[in-house]
Amino acid sequence: MSAEREPIFNAPWPALVLVAAILGGYALQSLAPQDALFARYGFSPAGFAAGERVQLITALFLHGGWAHALMNAAGALAFGSPVARLFGLRISGVVAFFAFYLLCGVISSWSYALIHQGEAVLLVGASGAVSGLMGAVSRLVAGRGRLGPFLSAPVVGMAGAWVIINLLVAVVGITPGMGEAPVAWEAHLTGYAAGLLLVGPAAWALRRA
């Protein structure tokens, strides 16, 4: 007997578009003066306090180096694929997928601004948004492709591991590809929490829960 083989690489196309946006965005970024781009499109609590809002989105597509961009692209592929499958490939599902990603990123940066009110430090990268995808996937792991309960072992275990990892990062103060730039570990944690909490309402709204 022969069983039908699953393709080795079968990531849904919205996840691949997200990966292309991260890598393509950094490729374009590398062709321009970095300091000027960061100053104009990077997110900072000081700028947010002064009324700057578009940077909540644009900062998600800036990165500190190829290692930083590749790391986030890998996370977007790994964790974005299950979420894209959950939401589905209809127009409503695709829109919900990208909106979910951006919303997690916005919440992560906004929370960082609340914690570091008025500080002039710049925040760039998709880590907060990718963390949101990771939080959502913890519930999919618990439910084996569907939404599992909050208090299940996979959800609690993944959340605990992510907290420990980011607390260690906070102590060490470095992350691959960022050099001496500060690590926004608070944004990672709040982005993760946003994805964990919002994936249920999003799936329910799409009638896929």
pLDDT tens by residue, 186-208: 999 999 999 999 999 999 999 86
The span from the CA of 204 to the CA of 166, in Å, is 30
Of the candidate CATH numbers 1.10.1040.10, 3.40.1500.10, 3.40.50.300, 1.20.1540.10, the domain formed by 13-205 belongs to 1.20.1540.10
The span from the CA of 109 to the CA of 96, in Å, is 20
Beta bridge partners of 143: 146
Q: Determine the average pLDDT of the residues in 98-106.
A: 98
Put residue 179 in one of left, alpha, beta given phi > 0 → left and psi -120 to 50 → alpha. left
> What is the residue extent of each domain of the chain?
13-205
The span from the CA of 111 to the CA of 115, in Å, is 6
Q: What is the pLDDT of residues 44-74, one digit of tens each?
A: 999 999 999 999 999 999 998 999 999 999 9
Q: What is the pTM of this model?
A: 0.91
Q: Determine the average pLDDT of the residues in 82-92.
A: 96
Residue 86 phi, psi (nearest 5) = -60, -45
Q: What is the pLDDT of residues 21-48, one digit of tens each?
A: 999 999 999 999 989 999 999 999 999 9
Checking if the pLDDT of 172 tops 80, the result is no
pLDDT classification of 5: cutoffs 50, 70, 90: very low
